[in-house]
Amino acid sequence: MEKKYKYLIIGGGIAGTSAAETIRQNDPKGTLAIISTEPHLLYSRVMLSKPGFYTSKNASGSAFLKQPSWYSANQIDFLGSRTVIALDILKKQVALKNGVVLGYEKLLLATGVQPRSLPNLESVDAERILYLHTLDQAREIERRLISSETIVVVGGGFIGFEMCGLLTALHKKVISVNIGPRYWRSVFDETSSQFIKNALTEHGVQVFAESVIKKLIGVNHVEGAIISNTETGAETKISCSLAIAAIGTHQTLDWVGQAGVKTNKGILANEYMETSARDVWAAGDCAEYFDTILEEPIVLKNWASAKTTGSIAAFGMLDKRVAHRKTTSYTTRKLGITVGFVGDVRPHGKNRTTISRGSLKANAYAELRIANERIVGATLINMNNKLGALTTLIENKISVGGRLKELSNPAFDLKKLL
């Protein structure tokens, strides 16, 4: 074993770094290391899908949130470009791909997620598809944008929408290819999806629904693509010079599961972010933790949740256990609309119903998720002025039983329920 750390954190993103920060505020001396597959210090993944990143004179620099001096001043060993391949929870060791074995007293798994690769593409095509998840990938997109006028974006979810919005803002011609019949179909109903489609088409984005990229055209560079409709089989040839895929994320939990740490959709953790293994915590996008407000397990993949769960895990590692109790939200403004999310936006689940509020005609629409006579989450389009009230309703577990009809009335003031 090369070295043993009191606190070992796997993952250099916001969850892992937030944990390191919390640990250092409470324990200035305990040895601490962050292992990261990426070479970079903490940067904002959120900024990678904002036009400012691509228009800034110092695009890469503008995304960094921590400088090397922060790590050295806090005596944090940042072990970048290293991949963990095995965990031994009995010996309390992790093995790295480069052969190094590191010991720990307290371990945090904040390994994040990875973008899904486009399936069914020939290998030569697959190599030419770009993804937006890491800083290096964003740099590659930034570099390629200079010589690209028309870009095809594959994926009808959040990042796909973000990509279309930012490319449109950068005055690029954008073609959107979505395998589903509608946008954001895992979260949105037909009306919400229609808002997205309308926003795209009104800003000149060419939309292909129920379609996939069958083949990229061009030898050394992408010159076009064959888009195939999954329902009719009809094929359309388009010209484009860049193809970007954003079809969701997944996580590789093999070595975590093999170590005996329980996993499901993520690494299972309780409200203290403690996993099933002694002295092992999980935080951020990789964690499926027990949400005390929802009263059920959840995987949340947003910045505020990652930061909060990282900090909560750190308190546990410091033997100062605190339970998670927070409702997170985030918004985006793109293509002339604002989209907001608060709490648990999953449309399906135990005892779960959705109440819709507003309409396309009114240019404002919300889907309120109800479970056990409480609001547990909401999606909001052009209705962010309800975010504050909804956050309070969710966090305080206020019963809305008997008020469901009023909730669907856009004129009804949600603050009356507080």
Partner 1 sequence: MEKKFLVAIDAEACIACGLCAEIAPKIFEPSEQMISQVLENAEIDPEILLKAARSCPTKAITVTDADTGNQLWPE
**Interaction site with partner 1 (CB under 8 A):** 14, 44-47, 50, 52, 62, 65, 67, 302-304, 307, 328-333, 340, 384-389, 391
- Residue found by looking up tokens 């796997």 in the block: 10
Which CB, 212 or 312, lies closer to partner 1?
312
Nearest 5°: phi and psi at 57? -65, -30
Query: Do you know the residue count of the chain?
Result: 418
Q: How far apart are CA 18 and CA 112, in angstroms?
A: 14
Q: How far apart are CA 17 and CA 6, in angstroms?
A: 16
Please tell me the chain's helix, strand, coil percentages from 3-state DSSP, rounded to the nearest 5: 30, 30, 40
What burial letters (b/e) apply to 186-221, b meaning 16+ CB within 10 Å?
ebbbebbbbbbbbbbeeeebbbbbebbbbebeeeee
In the complex, what is the shortest distance from the CB of residue 331 to partner 1, in angstroms, rounded to a whole number? 4
In the complex, what is the shortest distance from the CB of residue 161 to partner 1, in angstroms, rounded to a whole number? 14
Q: How far is CA 338 from CA 56, 203, 303, 383, in A?
A: 23, 14, 18, 8
| Token code pair at residue 191 | 């009306």
In the complex, what is the shortest distance from the CB of residue 58 to partner 1, in angstroms, rounded to a whole number? 11
Number of other residues whose CB lies within 10 A of the CB of residue 161: 26
Q: How far apart are CA 327 and CA 408, in angstroms?
A: 22
Number of other residues whose CB lies within 10 A of the CB of residue 348: 8
Which CB, 92 or 334, lies closer to partner 1?
334
In the complex, what is the shortest distance from the CB of residue 173 to partner 1, in angstroms, rounded to a whole number? 24
Which CB, 178 or 329, lies closer to partner 1?
329
Which CB, 255 or 330, lies closer to partner 1?
330
Which CB, 23 or 243, lies closer to partner 1?
23
Q: How far apart are CA 377 and CA 375, in angstroms?
A: 6
Which CB, 106 or 307, lies closer to partner 1?
307
In the complex, what is the shortest distance from the CB of residue 304 to partner 1, in angstroms, rounded to a whole number? 4
In the complex, what is the shortest distance from the CB of residue 168 to partner 1, in angstroms, rounded to a whole number? 16
- Residue found by looking up tokens 């998840």 in the block: 133
In the complex, what is the shortest distance from the CB of residue 46 to partner 1, in angstroms, rounded to a whole number? 4
Report which residue type is found at 34. Answer: I
